[in-house]
Amino acid sequence: MQASVSLGKDVIQTISKFLGDGFLPFNSRRSLTPMQEDKITEMVKMSLLCRDLGYCQGELRKFIDEFVIMQAKGVENILTTLLSKSFNGDIYDQQLKHILGKVRFILKEESASEKDEMNIWFETVKKISGKFQEMALQCLAQLSNSAYDVDKTIYQKLMLATVIIEMKYLLKLCAIHNICVKTYECTTSLNSLLDHLKTMKDEKARLFIKYVYEALYKTQFYSSLTETTAHEFQVILSDMAYSSNVPTQEILSVVHKIVGARVKFVTDNTDEKLSLDSLLLHEILSDLDNIYSGKSNPFAEFLNQFFIWIVRDDDFHLSKHIQELLTEIGKDLSNTPRELFDKLSREVRLFLEMTVDPE
């Protein structure tokens, strides 16, 4: 799970070039306002993103402006640093102007939402992040004529930059504006599941992985990945399920530690120094928690069946319950707003590329 640490340092150094050393490590109470007026800042402020929107006034209007400015500058800085010869400021400005229109639409749409304040703001931030991910990839496609491997590295850095900035601003949203996540069903359910898996007999843990391995083939999961990444992930799950030479429970313990760090993150609103793959898993769970925030105990039935299976010696049809769970998750994701679904898909794909297919 450490394949991306060197890339992470590079990303952070790149972002820090224009944000300043004070940006990292994360400090949710420190001001994130850019130090000086510039073209991007002027474009964002001139767009009047929060005009006539009651939920987005005063300090929260400044919050949105800052967040959008930082996302725009993050993308620009990486492109100018890594594609300096082909970067075209005019093209970037046109793309940004287009995205600002989409951000305005998101804000207007959320202003009419009947959800509570926390859900409105978390969804707003995540949708805006998703739009900047889209813009980053569009700019990369227009600007880059490099080999695939170079493009892949730049793509990873662009995605990670949007994730880092989003996490920073969600911390600020809670610490300064007291708009904090209150439910994190996916994180707590996964944490409970892993807590039991890592302590059960090795044979039983492998059996659970086997059920997941088989159930995933009946979903659309692998179709969203590149052929190489899908194959590598299948090999890893197969080895964890069938090979006694693979330390299955050790791997589960590593994942459990990352998920546990997220539990601490959302309960205490404190920063953790995470490797980049850990940070991505944190973000994926954050997106899933947001998607399930309006549902009460969505995984209770599956966990109940899982706990029964733990103490029984027979199969107890857990494979059927895993398949049903994955099917339900698939349905829930299909009903998710497109911006959030696409964002989650990109992050899952990137996480797997960086961990199971890092080369």
Q: Where are the domains of the chain?
A: 9-177, 185-356
pLDDT in tens, 295-317: 888 999 999 999 999 988 766 78
Spacing of C-alpha 143 from chain mean position = 25
Torsion of CA 13, 15, 19, 25, to 10 degrees: -60
DSSP string covering 118-160, please?
HHHHHHHHHHHHHHHHHHHHHHHHHH--S-HHHHHHHHHHHHH
Q: Token pair of 94, please?
A: 């046109």
- Please write down the long-range contacts of 205-209, taking CB distance under 8 Å and 24 or more positions apart: 205/248, 205/249, 205/252, 206/240, 206/241, 206/242, 206/248, 207/241, 208/318, 209/237, 209/240, 209/241, 209/248
* pLDDT reading at 272 higher than 70: no
Q: At what angle do helices 276-291 and 248-268 cross, to 10 degrees?
A: 60
Residue 294 confidence (pLDDT): 79
pLDDT in tens, 91-121: 899 999 999 999 999 999 999 988 899 999 9
Question: Does residue 2 or residue 135 have the better pLDDT?
Answer: 135
Q: What angle do CA 236, 239, 240 make, to 5 degrees?
A: 85
- Which DSSP symbol is given to 183? -
Band of the pLDDT at 267, cuts 50, 70, 90? Answer: confident
pLDDT in tens, 166-207: 999 999 999 999 999 888 999 999 999 999 998 898 999 999
| In contact, 293 and 22? CB cutoff 8 Å | no
CA dist., res. 70 & res. 58, Å (int): 19
Residue 241 confidence (pLDDT): 94
* Neighbouring C-alpha atoms within 13 Å toward the C-beta of 123: 25
For residue 195, give the amino acid letter: D
89: burial class by Cβ within 10 Å (0-12, 13-18, 19+)? exposed
